[in-house]
Chain A
C-alpha cells in the first residue's frame, strides 16, 4: 500500500483545496449517473405495470388460449369437458374509465365464484351490477362507481375491496366483475379474451401443449402463460433500449470532463510527479494514484447520483409511461423500485466511466521521465504535433462510421447504428484539436479588429492550451450534437407526421367511444351509431373502422378494417410499395391486406408476400397488396376491407367512424346534428383540426423525455466548462497578473475569460452542429428505421436549432462568470511575485 500516502498527499489535498471545481466535476458525474438510473427505473416501472394491472387474479397458470376478436364460448365448454386433469379459467380483459376521476383502469371479468380466493376480497356475495375494486378506487364496499365502458356509462356498486388479496394486482386500481357482468358491459356476446389453463405438475409442458392443441379448434393460439406480457416486453425493448442509450450521453459528456480534470491534474503535477519518481515512486504507483483520483471523483459523484436518480425517476416515470401508453401498450406506472442491482450498476457506470476516461492521462503521467518533468508545455506541444495524425484518424473513423451505418440490425437492434454514432463522436473528438487550432488562430486577427484585444488574447489563449480546450469543446460539442441530432430527428419526425396527417386525416369529423382507448385498446361502439350518423343531413359518407389487438409472430400488432370504397373516394394514403389505386381497388372482396411500414419492417414482409391470420375459427393467408406509410403507432397494422373482416368475425361494432361532409357544409351545424342523432351513447365527436391538435400534443409529450435528457447532458457540459475555466484561471494566474502589470484593467481580464467561454461555446457549437447533422442522419435513416420501422423525411427545424444553440452559447458564457470574477480579483503582485 505504498501508493496510499502518496495518494492522500498529492491527490486528496489538491481536491480539497479546489472545492468548487471538485464539486462541479463530481456533480457532473452525479447528474450523469442520476439520469442513467432514473431512466432505468422509469423504464422498468412503466414496462412492469402492464403485467401488474392486467394479471389481476390470474395466479400462475401454465397456458393461455387467445384468438383474434376473442375466444368463442364453446371453446371454454369444450376445454372444461375434456377428459384431462386440467383447470380452465375464463377471463375477459379490457379497460374502463372511472367517470369521477377520468382515470383509465383495467377491467377484468372472472368467474368470481371460482376465482375468489378464500378470505380474499371482502364481500364475496354477488348480486346485480356490482364490482370488486382495488384499494385506490374505493375504500369501502357499498360505494358507487360510475364507469365508462365503450360507449356506455353505467353505475356499479362496490361489492368488495381487493386489498391484500393474493393475486389481486399490484397496482391497486383494478376493477373486477363477474364474467357475465363483464360480458354484458363490454358487449362480448360470450367471447372471452383469454382462457387460462393449469395442468398438473407431472409431465412435460411440451406434452401437455400438444394434447391441448389437439383439443382446440383452428384459429386459436395456445401459448405459455405470460406470452402476452413477454410480447409487450419485446415490443418495448427497442423503445427502452434507445432511451437508455440516450441517457448514457450525459455520462459520455461527464467522461470528457473527468478526462479533462485528470489531464489538468497531470499537467499541474508534472513537477511533483518528477520529484516523487526521482525519490523512488514506481510508474505503476503513479498510474494507480491517478486512476485512484478518477475513481474517487467517480465515487463522489456516483453516490449522490443514486439519490438524484431516484428523485428524477419520479418525474421520468410519468413521461415514459405517457409515451408507453400512447404508442405501445396500456400502462399504469408500477411503484419505482431501487433495487441493489440497479444501484450497483449505476455506481459501476459512474466509477467505470471515470476510470476509463482517466486511463489516457494517468498512463501519460506514469510515463513522465523524472528529468523532463520540470519542463513546461510538453502536453500542449504533443497535442499540436499530433493534430495532423489525429485528423487523419478522424477521417478514417468518419469513414468507418459511415460504413457501419449501412450494416443491418443485429437481433432487431440497430447495434451498428449505435456503433456508427459512437465512432462519429470519436472522429469528431479527434478532429476538434485541428478545428480549435485553425479557428482560434484564424479568428484571432478578426477578433482583435472587431472585438478588441481581450477577444484576441482569448482566442490565442484557447489555441495555446489546445489539449485542454479540445477536451472541453469535445464535451460540449457532444452534448450539442445530441441536441442538434435529436432536434433534427424530432423536427423531421414532427414534419413527417404533419404531412402524413394531411394525407391520412381527410374526414371532417371523427366519432369514437368515450371509453378508454389507446394503442392497444380499441373500445367499440354500437353498430347503430354509424347508421344513425349516415342519415344526418349533410353527411356525404362514413367510414366504419374496426381495430383489434392481435399478436403476430410473437409481437403485438393491430388488425384494422375500414371501408375501402370510402377511402378510395376521399383518402390520400401514401404507399411505400404498390400504388394506392391498385392496392385499394383490389382490397374489397378478396383475402388481401395492406400493411403499415412498421409492420412490414418488423416482420420483413412486403408487397406480394402473405400474412397468415387466425380468424373466426380458421387460419387464412392474406396477400399483401402494398405497404403504406403510417405513424399512428409503432406496433404495426394489418389493414383489410371491412367486408373481409366481417366475413370471418361477424361483429359489426366499429372502433371509430370517420365522417365526410358534403361540400360547403358547416361543420359545427352538422356536428350538433350528429350529437342529437347519437344522444344516449357516450361517444366523442372530434373535428379534424382538434384531432390533429391532439395528435401533435401526444407527439410532443412523447419527446418531452428526450428534451429533458438533452437538457441534462448540456447542463453537465456547461458545468464542466465552468469548472474547467476555473482551473484555467488558476493555471494562468501569472498571465492575468502580468496583464495587469502591462496596463489591463480588472474588467479587461474579466472580459478575456468571458470571451474564452464564449469562444469555447462557439467552437463547440460549430463542431457540435456538424457532428449533430451527421448523427441526425444516423438517427433518422439507421437507428430509428431499424428500431421502429418508420421512414422520416429529413427536415431542418431551423428556429428550434437556432434558439437551442444560442441558449447553449449564452449558458457557456454564463458559466464563465464566476471564473471571470475570480480572475479579475487576482492580486497581480501576489501571482507574479518573484522574490
Chain B
C-alpha cells in the first residue's frame, strides 16, 4: 500500500490579486520506507508539495492521499489529527522554540496531542540522535547541526510514518550537512519512516532512493535507484 499519493494535484496562490500556479498536475506515488528527494530551484514548488503532503494545505484541484486518507475530505480538526499521528516536519532554519529547552522542544508534539508521558520518549529520541546530556540546554546554546538534530528528534517523537524535510541542510556547512543526511538515511533504514525531502542541492540526493526533479511546478524527471 502506498503511503503518499498525489493524483493530478494543482495548487494556485493569490499573490497581490494575481493567481499564481505553484504546482501543475502532479501525480506521484511514495511507498513506505522510501527516501524521496525533491530537487529544483527556489520557487519551483518543492515547499508547496511538502505542505500538501503534510496535510498543511489543500490542493486547488486533484487529490492527496496520506496513508489511505484523502486530505481534501478532512476538516481542520481531522487534518490536525492526521498530522499529529502520521507526519513529522523538519525545516531549513530548524524552527526550535527559543523559550523551551531542548527536551521541552522535543516533547512538544506529544504534549500537543494530549499525552502527558512525553519525557521518556523525548529522552529516547535525543539519545537516538546522539544528543544525550544536552536536554536542559536552550536552542541558542547549541550549534547549527545540534539544533537540526533536536528538530529531527522532535519530528520523530510521535513515530510518524512520513517525515517531511524542507531544505534540512540549507543552513549547515557541508560536513554537518552530510551528517544530517546520514541521520535521515538511518531514520528510513532503522525506523522505517518515509522521508520526503526538498532540496536544491543535487549532492544531497545521494542518500535518497528516489529523486524527483521539479521545475515551474511540474515534475520533469523521476529517478529511482
Contact = CB atoms under 8 A, between A and B. Distances in A.
Contacts of A743: 80, 83-84, 109, 112-113, 158
Contact of B54 (A456, A741, A748, A833): A741
A276 interface: no
B118 to A, nearest CB: 9
A460 B111 CA distance: 15
Contacts of A464: 98-99
B213 interface: no
B167 to A, nearest CB: 7
Interface string B75-113: 011001001100001011101011110001000110111
A593 B154 CA distance: 84
A833 B47 contact: yes
Contacts, number: 66
Nearest to B118: A453
Interface string A81-108: 0000000000000000000000000000
A834 interface: yes
Contacts of A777: none
B51 interface: yes
A453 B107 CA distance: 10
Given A741-B89, A743-B158, A453 B112 contact: yes
Contact of A453 (B57, B91, B111): B111
B43 A835 contact: yes
Contact of A742 (B42, B46, B51, B109): B109
Nearest to A459: B99
A774 interface: no
B142 interface: no
B93 A745 contact: no
A377 interface: yes
Contacts of B112: 453, 739, 742-744, 748
A453 B99 contact: no
Interface string A617-636: 00000000000000000000
Given A829-B56, A832-B95, A835-B46, A460 B108 contact: no
A793 B112 CA distance: 52
A463 B42 contact: no
Interface in A727-754: 734-735, 738-746, 748
A461 B97 CA distance: 10
A219 interface: no
Contact of B167 (A738, A748, A834): A834
B34 interface: no
A744 B80 contact: yes
Nearest to B200: A835
B166 interface: yes
Interface in A795-835: 828-829, 832-835
Contacts of A448: 111
Contact of B97 (A735, A745, A748, A835): A735
- Counting chain B CB atoms within 10 Å of each CB, which of A448, A463, A734 scores highest? A448
Nearest to B54: A741
B47 A834 contact: yes
A459 to B, nearest CB: 9
- Counting chain B CB atoms within 10 Å of each CB, which of A377, A741, A745 scores highest? A741
B92 A834 contact: yes
A172 B21 CA distance: 77
A745 B109 CA distance: 11
Contacts of B113: 743
Contacts of A835: 42-43, 46-47
Contacts of B89: 741-742
Interface string A754-778: 0000000000000000000000000
A739 B43 CA distance: 24
Given A461-B99, A835-B46, A740 B91 contact: no
Contact of A746 (B54, B76, B108): B76
A437 to B, nearest CB: 12
A690 B137 CA distance: 70
Nearest to A828: B56
Given A744-B112, A834-B167, A738 B47 contact: no
B56 A740 contact: yes
Contacts of A746: 76, 80
A834 B167 CA distance: 9
Interface string A368-395: 0000000001000000000000000000
A832 B113 CA distance: 21
B54 A834 contact: no
16 contacts: A448-B111, A452-B111, A452-B114, A453-B112, A456-B111, A460-B99, A738-B97, A741-B89, A741-B95, A742-B89, A742-B109, A742-B112, A744-B80, A834-B93, A834-B167, A835-B42
Given A746-B76, A835-B47, 10 more contacts: A456-B111, A464-B99, A735-B97, A743-B158, A829-B51, A829-B57, A832-B95, A833-B47, A835-B42, A835-B43
